[in-house]
Structure 1
Amino acid sequence: MTISLFDPAGIAARPGPRYKAIADTLSDAVKMGTAAPGTKLPPLRDLAYRLGVTVGTVSRAYALAATRGEVTGEVGRGTYVRDRNARSGAGVGAAAFHTLPDAMQAAMKAALPAPVGQTEILGAAMRRLLDTLPDMPGRSPFDSYPPVGGTPHQRAMAAKWIAHGAFAPDAEELVICSGTQQAILTAVLGTTEPGDTILTEALTYTAMVSQAASVGRRVAPVDIDEEGLVPQALDRAARETGARAVFVVPTLHNPTSAIMSERRRREIVHVARTHGLSVIEDDIYGKLVDNRPPAIAGLYPEGTWYATSLAKTVACGLRIGFLRPPPAQLERARAIQYGFGQTVPPLMADLAAILIENGDADTLAVRQMEEMRDRHAMLREALQDRDIATRDTAPYAWLALPDAWRAHIFVEAARTRGLALAAGEDFMVGRIDRASRHIRLALGQPQTRDELATGLAIVSDLLKSGPIASSLVA
């Protein structure tokens, strides 16, 4: 590939950040066949000079292209367009280059619960449920459409699962959803109109940002500290943006694992009441914390949409979540739920109710916490003296990288060694062009402790060797 492929005027005309425009230009060339497999890309500094951008911008563009599977790097040789049909290490002649294996050695990218016997416990519960169907004429999940928001029994079990401390909503106040994501989207639609702004932590759950954008809402960042949202920053942002709602993960904040104190929660509630902000509280990780602070929904019941599920504590494949909207908005929430397609799959909702009723859900939650403590011990052993923010029962850790590293370069370097990670940029709101020096390590995703040990060894080795060993910064 020649450097002329990256036309400065053409890239400048593309919308969005420059790194993405460069990566998209390359992607178009790959699809059209202009950039043939094995073609070497320009060195970072050469292309940066040609386009009038920083080396970091080009580096991030190449990393994005690598994530898309369009390029790969080889130490000492540079970055090349990847032949997706070639085997690892295949190729002949001048165009030969190293391609990555399709199977990764380890995955620590998605915040999933660790395997602690879910298949056996859920399988047994499902068999018991199916065995009861012949004795349920007219009441089987297959006989009719279920009521919007769930059956009385499903909602009663949801209320049992949600209750902690003084926060104990009635079953009649709840809506059963297809996971926390649907609960959050219901809250977004229930609190805002197209064009409205939703405030959130400067680092936050990326699916919410995508959901908000898909329905025409803006998302604006609010400064955070070691407890999460900073009340003064929220007050300022509410005044400056005229926002209608704020999304917050106050317990085991994703990705930093911060836990907001009760005092901080009360300060956030005060700001929300002052500005008439609706609060969308994502408490999906709450069950992983003993004696956690009171829910914001308990402190601000008239203005909080509380969302949670079984995904991070029991099994993510259940796709059953629970929403407690403000009482005055309950019928609106049900109407939005009906618009999604009436309700959730009743068989899965019944399974979730059985797991809560017979104690299996609590058993799996306790096992999850125990497994996370053991995995955090492995993390501390593997990454001694590193700057890591986390909690012993959190399904992830927030690793600060040395100054020499940038997160997207670290992620790509890890990928070349067979490890999938999530970069700090993935959680940023607003300033997507800003470089990050953090990595989220998902400790629950590895299916075995051996896989976790492999992933941690790769991370440790990269931290010791530094980016100089990565061809992506050549």
Structure 2
Amino acid sequence: MTISIFDRDDIAARPGPRYRAIADRLRDTIRSGAVPTGTRLPPLRDLAYELGVTVGTVSRAYALAASRGEVAGEVGRGTYVLGQGLHAHGGTGVGSAAFLTMPEATMAAMKAALAPPAGQTEIVGTALTALLAEGQAPGAPSPFNTYLAPGGEERHRRAASAWLSFGDFAPLPGDLLVCSGTQQAILTSILAATEPGDLILTEELTYHAMVQQAGLTGRRVAPVDIDAEGMVPEALERAIRDQHPAAIFVVPTLQNPTGTTMSEARRRQIAELAARHDMSIIEDDIYGALAGERPPPIAQFAPERTWYATSLAKTVGCGLRVGFLKPPSRLLERARAIQNGFGQTVPPLMAELGSRLIETGDAAELCARIRTEMAARHKMTSEALGSYRLTFDSAALYVWLELPDTWRAHGFVEAARARGVAIAAGEDFMVGRTDRAARHVRLAIGQPQTREELARGLTVIASLLSESHIGIVEPA
């Protein structure tokens, strides 16, 4: 059933841009229970005519509702109500189940921030074969029929320490927990460092898995302005003063989706602000090892309050669900207990395999190959799209592309999808508002399985950029 739930007078009376008023009216109606899950919303043109606004305004309103996790659109079927945002389900932002349900990409898949093929099958396969050929020590349990100690065995934590150490940052094995990927490390940090109802500040553009985890566990999330270095300290200080948060979540190296890296001076500022206001920091360094030369982590400047999370997913291969967490020392046992209670630790076979790859140097070799391959792919991307505004780092797995004025992000994503190319809209990364990313998309140039696939995708993107999105104009 298609019904109209938009009261023209109510929308006209709301302050702010029309698109936001439409989205807020939709949100309020959903929360009132008047619109059941599965309700199909009016087509863009129909609602635009009904409300006396442009099609672009309605498109932007629907995009905002989608970023809030309240609706979802499917080509050929329309836009449907999902429910009451993140508290009702997993949302639709980057990292959500909806986002990761990949559309068919007949030309090129460029939606997920995956490392490119770099010999993972051969190198990891050889390591796994050798591991299994060794068999188990006399009296030791099979890795297929045992659990690890919560947080991993000593040998796994020694390997983790070796992998994480660079410069003066050298975490001790006893200070680390081995996790089932970075997401488990982040969830453990959220649960240990904050309480239900607490507020977490994060970059206004960020990876939405953390936003979902916060919402599903009763925490709130609010955005902080970013610039070419990431989170802006002055904006962070204002947000701390006005909103009284419990924690900060930040991706300081190869930030997703912009690819920016925070300077050491700014990292020190973030650490100092957190110390002054007695706040926790959750530092996601999942891309750090790709950067080669990089500043020390924030955890080095504020170890007593920083939860440092990373994994092998982006630097070796995402099929290895092996992550690492360095909590503040005084909260290590609390973190261990929470991790064990919410899913235990990494499977024993994965822990053994990840440790072997680190110890033999294979993990470092794969990371170097990925870095080299990404440099080549960034060169291809710059050559294909160099006349447009690109933000990237040559080691990042993605490019942040600003669209011409004639395009909106979700319209561009749908147009690319219609031509067989899967990419991510800027709104999928927004926290709280969509204005900043309404004309941006992220191209995950590491995901294509070959450079030929990447070239096909870039050809489609370049062609679309040269066209006008007929019917979409600057919203009211």
Q: What range describes the TM-score normalised by the shorter chain of this pair?
A: 0.7 to 0.9
Any idea what the Cα deviations from partners look like across 1:94-125, whole Å, max 9, x if unmatched? Answer: xxxxxxx9553211111000011101111111
Equivalent residue number for residue 74 of structure 2: 69
Equivalent residue number for residue 369 of structure 2: 367
Aligned partner of residue 8 in structure 1, secondary structure? coil
Tell me if the contact between 1:406 and 1:435 (Cα under 8 Å) persists in the aligned partners.
no
1:242 lines up with 2:240 in the alignment: no
With over 3 angstroms needed to count, the CA separation of the structure-2 counterparts of 1:125 and 1:21, relative to structure 1, is farther
Structure 2 runs not aligned, ≥5 long: 12-20, 81-102
CA distance in 2, matches of 1:447, 1:158: 29
Tell me if the contact between 2:264 and 2:296 (Cα under 8 Å) persists in the aligned partners.
yes
CA distance in 1, matches of 2:422, 2:167: 38
CA distance in 1, matches of 2:432, 2:114: 26
CA distance in 2, matches of 1:43, 1:297: 47
Equivalent residue number for residue 8 of structure 1: 6
With over 3 angstroms needed to count, the CA separation of the structure-2 counterparts of 1:386 and 1:304, relative to structure 1, is same
The count of residues paired between Structure 1 and Structure 2 equals 435
1:301 lines up with 2:303 in the alignment: yes
With over 3 angstroms needed to count, the CA separation of the structure-2 counterparts of 1:42 and 1:126, relative to structure 1, is closer
Tell me how far 1:132 sits from its aligned partner: 1.7
Any idea what the Cα deviations from partners look like across 1:338-382, whole Å, max 9, x if unmatched? Answer: 102332211111100000000110000000000000000100111
Write the mapping of 1:104-123 to structure 2, written as runs, cut at 5 A.
Answer: 104-123=106-125
2:175 paired residue among 169, 173, 176:
173
With over 3 angstroms needed to count, the CA separation of the structure-2 counterparts of 1:11 and 1:294, relative to structure 1, is farther
Tell me how far 1:173 sits from its aligned partner: 0.2
Q: Give RMSD over aligned pairs.
A: 3.1
1:431 lines up with 2:439 in the alignment: no
CA distance in 1, matches of 2:53, 2:276: 44
Equivalent residue number for residue 148 of structure 2: 146
Equivalent residue number for residue 38 of structure 2: 28
Aligned partner of residue 468 in structure 1, secondary structure? coil
CA distance in 1, matches of 2:26, 2:116: 35
CA distance in 1, matches of 2:113, 2:152: 27
TM-score normalised to structure 2 length: 0.84
Tell me how far 1:16 sits from its aligned partner: 6.4
CA distance in 2, matches of 1:240, 1:461: 45
Aligned partner of residue 283 in structure 2, secondary structure? strand
Equivalent residue number for residue 330 of structure 2: 328
Aligned partner of residue 442 in structure 2, secondary structure? strand
Tell me how far 1:145 sits from its aligned partner: 2.4
Tell me if the contact between 2:44 and 2:55 (Cα under 8 Å) persists in the aligned partners.
no
CA distance in 1, matches of 2:371, 2:299: 24
CA distance in 2, matches of 1:417, 1:11: 39
With over 3 angstroms needed to count, the CA separation of the structure-2 counterparts of 1:114 and 1:26, relative to structure 1, is farther
Equivalent residue number for residue 92 of structure 1: none
Equivalent residue number for residue 255 of structure 1: 257
2:132 paired residue among 124, 130, 133:
130
Tell me if the contact between 1:22 and 1:58 (Cα under 8 Å) persists in the aligned partners.
no
With over 3 angstroms needed to count, the CA separation of the structure-2 counterparts of 1:357 and 1:458, relative to structure 1, is same
Aligned partner of residue 460 in structure 1, secondary structure? helix
Q: Which amino acid aligns with 2:441?
A: I
With over 3 angstroms needed to count, the CA separation of the structure-2 counterparts of 1:107 and 1:69, relative to structure 1, is same
CA distance in 1, matches of 2:129, 2:450: 26
Higher Cα radius of gyration: 1
Q: Percent identity?
A: 56
Tell me if the contact between 1:19 and 1:58 (Cα under 8 Å) persists in the aligned partners.
no
Structure 1 runs not aligned, ≥5 long: 36-40, 73-78, 82-100
2:350 paired residue among 336, 348, 351:
348
Write the mapping of 1:39-438 to structure 2, written as runs, cut at 5 A.
Answer: 44=45, 46-51=46-51, 55-60=55-60, 68-69=73-74, 71=76, 102-432=104-434, 436-438=438-440
CA distance in 1, matches of 2:414, 2:9: 23
TM-score normalised to structure 1 length: 0.85
Tell me how far 1:394 sits from its aligned partner: 0.5
CA distance in 2, matches of 1:130, 1:284: 28
Tell me if the contact between 2:107 and 2:456 (Cα under 8 Å) persists in the aligned partners.
yes
Tell me if the contact between 1:141 and 1:346 (Cα under 8 Å) persists in the aligned partners.
yes
Tell me how far 1:240 sits from its aligned partner: 1.1
Any idea what the Cα deviations from partners look like across 1:279-307, whole Å, max 9, x if unmatched? Answer: 10000000111220011101111110000
With over 3 angstroms needed to count, the CA separation of the structure-2 counterparts of 1:412 and 1:25, relative to structure 1, is farther
